[in-house]
Structures are given as C-alpha cells and as structure tokens.
Amino acid sequence: MKIVADENIPSVSEAFGTLGDVTLVPGRGLEPGQVADADILLVRSVTRVDETLLAGSRVRFVGSATIGFDHVDRDYLAAQGIGLATAPGSNATSAAEYVVSALLVLSQQQGLELAGRSVGVIGCGNVGSRVQTRLTALGMQCLVNDPPLQAAGAAGEFVSLEDALVCDVVTVHVPLERTGGHPTFHLIDASTLARLRPGTILVNTARGAVADNRALLNVLQVRPDLTVVLDVWEDEPSISLPLLERVALGTPHIAGYSLDGKLRGTEMIYRAACAFLGEPVSWDASSVLPPASPLDVSAMTDSGSEALASAAVQGCYDVRADDRKLREVFALAPQQHSAWFDRLRREYPVRREFASTPLLHAPLSEQQRKVLAGLGFAV
C-alpha cells in the first residue's frame, strides 16, 4: 500500500509505516502526479484536496491532521467513495493556551488585570469551550456567541454577536464557512469592527478569512486604541506585512502547534485509517511523546494568582517568541516572505501543553491552586 503524506505531520512515517510504504512530500503545492498511485493521502490545512488533485488517482482514504476541513471538498470525496478523517479537537488545548498566553502578555504590557473583565467568545466548540474554561479560571466573565450550538439546543447561555462584540476582549473560534445557514467568511468585517469599544482586544486564532484583513488594516490605521492578536491570516503564506506591523502580536498560524496536539492529530487520523481498512492499531502517540522538563515557579508563589499564572504560562509557552520570529520577515527580500512564514511552521520548536509540564512550587493558596488547575496545570 502506498501512502503519500505531508512531511510536516509529526511521526507520520512511524505511525503509517505499520500500514504501508510512506512517501513524504511538501504539503503546499502538492500536485496530481504525486498522488496518482497513492492509496492513502495525508495532509494538513495547506493542501487543497479536491477533484483537481485526486481525479484519476487511486486514493481511497484521505486523512487531514487538522481540526478544520475547509480545505477539503467533502462532497467530491463522498461522491467518489473516498474515506475522510480529520482530527477535531486534537490541538484545541494548545490553541486555547495560546489565547491565555497572549492575554496575560497584553495584561502585563498594558498594566491591567484580566480578572473582572468581559470576554466575548465567538464560537464555543472544541477550542472556544476550552478558552471559556481557562479565562473563567482567571476571573474573566465569558459571554458566548455560537448560533449553530444555540440552534442545536446546547446547554448554556448564549448572547448575540452584537453583545459579544462590546466585551473588553473578543476572541474568535469558528470554522470557516462560506455558505450555509451560518457563514463565517469575513464575519469580522468593517461593520463588526466599528462596534468594538475603545480599548478592545481582538484575537483571531480561527481561520484567516474569518476576519477581513483589509478592513482590519484600515481600522487599525485610524484606531490605535484597538489591540489585535492574529495567528491566522488571509492569503497565507503571503500575508499582509502592513497588517503585521499594526497588530500587537502576530504569529504564523501556530496557535495549535504543541507537540502534544500535533501527535494527537497524527494518532487520530491513524486510528481512523486503521478502522477504514480493517487493520489493527499498533502505534500510539505515547510511544514517542517525551516527558516535559519541570518548570520552577517557587519564586512567584508569594505573588497574586494572576502573577503566578503569568509566570507558569509564560514559562511553558510565551507567545512573544513566536511574534518576534515572524517579524524577522521585515529584514528579508520580498520574494522570501512567503517561504519564511512556511519555514517557521515547518521548523517549529518543541512546545508542550500546560498539563504535560510539571510545576515546582512552594505551598499554594487555595485560590492559586484553583487558578492553575483551571488553566490546565497538574497541581
């Protein structure tokens, strides 16, 4: 059996090597000739999977190690009888931890406390629900906007988009949908941006086209009071450098890039492929996931809960490092810009989730323990 896989899916050769011969390829720019004789195709969000790529091939199963599927023509695959599996929730924890890190960094930079501030969580699925849990642990008031969940009768209280947009923080966690009952393409556009109150923090870790990047740049040019964090961009990897200059934190689509999350995604599509083929499962991510180094926060246990949380979070993952690396693009020639964005993703350093990182600390107060546990740390 021939398996063609994106070279940036971690441990994909070890996992899928139990099923056949694995050929690694760059995911962006994948061409029909490279998959013509493949039985299984494994991709990430940078590869468009549709009739153009697969027509005439012998591919019978597609696995995407991603939580989204807007890069896959599901109708075409279904019509051809091609199996499909994605990895919903695989990197949701690390994406939520990215939001926590970003907000704690901004709170320090702006001299404000997060506790007591309001957050509009737009989209409360795998990522948004984890964001809600963690920001609630920090004492923030979360207002959830999710029309599909609300229409499905999900438990919990929901607010309108208008109410979510007037919060102190607005964080977006929706799939990219261009059609249907709840389209999200350019959900954040000029009209929604105009509703943001002075001093609002806007975070987008969903998909680049959920926010109209041109409208966002236009607004930031006249409203320096707004603070924007972008991990996702329209036209990746050819992102808007004028917009990067204006955002407070900009990163190269790596919010969900913890090693834990990426290996979880590999295991999810591997298990789905085994089920599709009727083969036994003989590999799991725990076999290659190394123990994380302990993090000593003892010096901060005499501080308040939010200061201790900042020390623990930034010691585990500090979003500013990724922001600095992306901004090195300004020193490069224009023809190198897109390649730099992709290189940062391809060569991303090992990052572990909070729960995997042992904390060394002095005795904690009940409140400190509650906050750290709410953020996902094992205390």
In the prediction, which pLDDT does 239 show?
98
Residue 64, SS3 per DSSP? strand
Average of per-residue pLDDT across 300-305: 91
What pTM value is reported for the model? 0.92
- Catalytic annotation, pick one of 134, 246, 253, 264: 253
Average of per-residue pLDDT across 79-103: 96
- What superfamily does domain 92-250 belong to in CATH? NAD(P)-binding Rossmann-like Domain (3.40.50.720)
Using the CB atoms, write b or e for 314-345: b if 16+ within 10 Å.
Answer: bebbbbeebbebbeebeeeeeeeebebbbebb
In the prediction, which pLDDT does 120 show?
98
Task: In the chain, list all ranges with CATH 3.40.50.720.
Answer: 2-86+258-287, 92-250
> How much is the mean pLDDT over the chain?
96
pLDDT over 90 (residue 206):
yes
Lowest mean pLDDT among 131-135, 153-157, 184-188: 153-157
pLDDT over 90 (residue 114):
yes
In the prediction, which pLDDT does 67 show?
82
Architecture of the domain spanning 2-86+258-287: 3-Layer(aba) Sandwich (3.40)
Q: How confident is the model at residue 109 (pLDDT cuts 50, 70, 90)?
A: very high
pLDDT over 90 (residue 335):
yes
In the prediction, which pLDDT does 154 show?
94
Rounded to 5°, the CA angle 229-232-247 comes to 30
| Cβ pair 143, 121 in contact under 8 A | yes
Look up 253 and say whether it is catalytic: yes
What is the Cα–Cα distance from 312 to 119, expressed in whole angstroms? 22
Q: Which two tokens stand for residue 61?
A: 């199963």
In the prediction, which pLDDT does 337 show?
98
What is the Cα–Cα distance from 97 to 91, expressed in whole angstroms? 10
| Cβ pair 372, 134 in contact under 8 A | no
Q: How confident is the model at residue 339 (pLDDT cuts 50, 70, 90)?
A: very high
In the prediction, which pLDDT does 106 show?
98
Average of per-residue pLDDT across 109-124: 97
Q: How confident is the model at residue 216 (pLDDT cuts 50, 70, 90)?
A: very high
| H helices present in 278-317, as ranges | 305-316
What is the Cα–Cα distance from 179 to 285, expressed in whole angstroms? 36
pLDDT over 90 (residue 283):
yes
pLDDT over 90 (residue 70):
no
More confident residue, 340 or 179: 340
Task: In the chain, list all ranges with CATH 3.30.1370.170.
Answer: 295-375
pLDDT over 90 (residue 367):
yes
In the prediction, which pLDDT does 8 show?
93
Architecture of the domain spanning 295-375: 2-Layer Sandwich (3.30)
Burial (0-12, 13-18, 19+ Cβ within 10 Å), 53: buried
Look up 236 and say whether it is catalytic: yes
- Catalytic annotation, pick one of 117, 130, 173, 207: 207
Q: Which two tokens stand for residue 235?
A: 């036209």
- Catalytic annotation, pick one of 28, 134, 186, 236: 236
Average of per-residue pLDDT across 190-217: 98
pLDDT over 90 (residue 68):
no
Look up 306 and say whether it is catalytic: no
